[in-house]
Every structure is written in structure tokens, then in C-alpha cells.
Structure 1
Amino acid sequence: MNNLLIHPTYFPSISHFVAISQADSITFEMEDNFQKQTNRNRMYIYSPNGIQLLNIPIKHSKEAHQRTKDVKLETAFDWQKQHFKSLEAAYRTSPFFEYFEDEIYPIFTKKHTFLMDLNLESMEVVAKCLKMKLEYSKTNEYFHEAKDFNDLRILANGKKDTATFESYTQVFGDKHGFLNNLSILDLLFNEGRYALDYLKKQVL
């Protein structure tokens, strides 16, 4: 049995969804401490100028360690509008952007309080677009070693995620070449209904 343990992240990397699409069961890590500079609150897309980081601002806690599930979003400025504009600039001309736009857009208008709620919803929306069943359980304590699981929590740390995948056609591929393992949105907007087949064929 492939019992996957993984972090919910913001419109996760393709590697996340490769793991999820091939798992027998999925458990989301809910009890970890928040770590900066990880994909917990960021995604990478293919902009007209190449790779672009979209980062969610969070409210910083005075505590040395804060659980990811307790992290609140910064609402002082409209990062959601900025993120959606960046997605439009990157993918408006892709084959499937308009097809999925109505599913994706509401996330950028909703006022979530907690990062974790936003991450879970972003993953659920993507699974719906992929026509993929996303049934999961959640951890209720933290284990440094999770021996009963295929522990892929490391994928939340983009720098340690070294997965490479088959190339597919990207909007600005002629300018910058193929960019590997971006946000799942890159695959969705470029491959549409073929995206789930692609995920199931990849080797992680």
C-alpha cells in the first residue's frame, strides 16, 4: 500500500500531484511548525519573463515556533489580485486557461483567515479540475519519522525537491525552454484534460 504523507501547499508543485495521483491513501500533515522559504505559502509559474515566484504574505508571530495550521494571512494589501493578474499574464493564451478560469478565480476573491484553509481549498479545486478524487485524512500529532507512510513531506521544501518530469508544451517554451516542476496550474492550463494521465505516468 502506498500510504502518502504530504504537506498541503499553495497550488502545489507538479511533484505533489504526481505523488497524490499515484497514492492509495493520502494523509495531510497538519501538526508541523511553519518554515519560511518553502512552498507552504508560495508557488512558481511560467511568466513571459521565465520563472516567477508568487508569494503569500503572512502575519508574523512573536512566538519562535508557530504551527502551520495557525498561520494567518496578511490582509493589509491585495496580494490575491496581484497573483491572479500574474496568472492571467502567464496563461491567458494557454489552451485551457479559459476552460478552468471559473473554477480557479473564486479562490482569489475569498478572504481566508488561515493559510492552511487556503492551501486545502486550492488543492481541492485543482483535484476537481483534474477530475481526480481527493479523499484524505489529517494528522493529529507530529512524527519526525513516519514509518508507516511514504513520507514525502520534503516536497514542501522546493529546494530539496529534485524531481524531473517529461516535458510538455508550455506557453513561453519557445522563449525560455521547458521549465520543470512548476505549480500544478502550469500543467492544468497547458494540458487540460490530459493532465491527470500525465501525472499518473510520471516517476517521482
Structure 2
Amino acid sequence: MGSILIHPTYFPSLSHFVAMVQAENVIFETDDNFQKQTNRNRMYIYSPNGIQLLNIPVKHNKGIHQKFKDTKIEDAFDWQKQHFKSLEAAYRSSPFFEYFEDDIRPIFEQKHVYMMDLNFKILDILTDCLGIDIPYNKTEEYFHDAPQGVTDYRYLANGKKDTNIFEPYTQVFEEKAGFINNLSILDLLFNEGRYAADYLKRQQL
């Protein structure tokens, strides 16, 4: 796969990581407007009760389009404590949760101001956990259509438009609800550990 254009998202979905791992060059869209109900500030995990949405509240400027890079996290809600508790309930018994816990925990203990900055910090942590290198560039202006020779994967940030199906792997609660496809990369990481990188390389979009 050549160059791709993609959004920085919150603990990205498997499809996001499949695209990034298999690309020769990753370009992150950093000059677009913030859009609600996308993975820019949400992820999906496999909880004891099935699929669970974890959403970070952000501050909105009423009536004004705000760029994603200028979008601030709303501190009035204790989202960090809630999200980490949810991850513990979902993955404490998974094979690799304790192995990666110390890498992930600081995200839920440190103060973060901008949503996009948090997503890039998370990407650095995740690539280190996976043992992979994803060199990337950032856009300096907004393109309605991807430049020539660049595959546009920005739609992957909208879960409703992402219909990719991936091969099953072992999940903690699959005996209760079966395999759940295309969750956050954390689901794969906590269940497969460093084998996750090989899994991502052999999937197809």
C-alpha cells in the first residue's frame, strides 16, 4: 500500500491500524473541522456486557465550526477514571493487560488539553507497545479530496462507514457474545500482545 490520508483517532480501531501498518507513508489530516459522533474522541471495547462505547467529552463553540486541532477536552466530567475502570472490567483477565498496563495508565492520569494532541500521544504509546514504527506527516491545509496518488482513508473515523471485516482472534468474553469485529486496537493488544503486529499486517481492507 502506498501513501494514505487518515484521521488521528482515540485508541484507533483495527481498520485504522491495518491501514497505517500496511502503508508506505501515513499522512494525518490535521486541518479539518471537528465532527461529532466519530472516532476522533471515542473508541469501542468488549465489555462483560458486550460492545461498549467510551467517549471523551469535548468543548463546543456554539454556532461556530471549530477545527479538530483547536478542540479542547471538557474537564467537567471525570472521563479518565471512568474509561480506565471500564478497561479494567473488560480486560483485567486478558493475557496481556498487566503487561501493557503501565504504558497505558498515564493517559488516564495526566491532564490533557487538546483532543488531537492526546490522539497523537496515544499513537506514540501504541506503536511502542506493538513494537512497530509508523512514520507519518501532517497536513498543512485541508483537502476535500485526497491528493493524487494518496488513498483517502479519512472515512474510517466514522464507524458507520467502516464495514471492514477481520479474521477472528481470541477475546475475553467471546463465549458469551461471540467474536466482535473491529474494536479498538486495545482489544487486540490486550488479547494478542506483540502478536498483534503480525495480525495487522495480514489483514485486508
Greater displacement, 161-170 / 120-129:
120-129
Greater displacement, 90-99 / 55-64:
55-64
Deviations 1:37-66 (A, max 9, x none): 111100000000000000000011124311
**1:114-129 to 2 correspondences below 5 Å:** 114-129=114-129
Q: Distance in 2 between matches of 1:148 and 1:74?
A: 38
Residue in 1 aligned with 2:194?
193
Residue in 2 aligned with 1:15?
15
Q: Distance in 2 between matches of 1:109 and 1:57?
A: 16
Residue in 1 aligned with 2:55?
55
Moved segments of 4+, more than 2 Å: none
Unpaired segments of 5 or more residues in structure 2? none
Q: TM-score, normalised by structure 2?
A: 0.98
Residue in 2 aligned with 1:112?
112
Q: Distance in 1 between matches of 2:191 and 2:11?
A: 15
Q: Distance in 1 between matches of 2:115 and 2:180?
A: 27
Shift of 1:77: 2.1
Unpaired segments of 5 or more residues in structure 1? none
Shift of 1:110: 1.2
Q: Distance in 2 between matches of 1:74 and 1:44?
A: 20
Residue in 2 aligned with 1:130?
130
The answer on whether the counterparts of 2:58 and 2:74 sit within 8 Å (CA) in structure 1 is yes
Q: TM-score, normalised by structure 1?
A: 0.98
Q: Distance in 1 between matches of 2:108 and 2:149?
A: 36
Identity within the alignment, %? 70
Residue in 1 aligned with 2:163?
162
Q: Distance in 2 between matches of 1:69 and 1:8?
A: 10
Q: Distance in 2 between matches of 1:36 and 1:22?
A: 28
Return the letter of the residue paired with 1:76.
A
Shift of 1:96: 0.3
Return the letter of the residue paired with 2:78.
D
Greater displacement, 143-152 / 160-169:
143-152
Shift of 1:122: 1.1
Return the letter of the residue paired with 2:166.
F
Shift of 1:78: 1.1
Greater displacement, 57-66 / 47-56:
57-66
Shift of 1:123: 1.3
Count of matched residue positions in the alignment of Structure 1 and Structure 2: 204
Q: Distance in 2 between matches of 1:119 and 1:158?
A: 17
Shift of 1:148: 2.8
Residue in 1 aligned with 2:203?
202
Shift of 1:150: 1.1
The answer on whether the counterparts of 2:57 and 2:77 sit within 8 Å (CA) in structure 1 is no
Deviations 1:101-125 (A, max 9, x none): 0000001111110000111111111
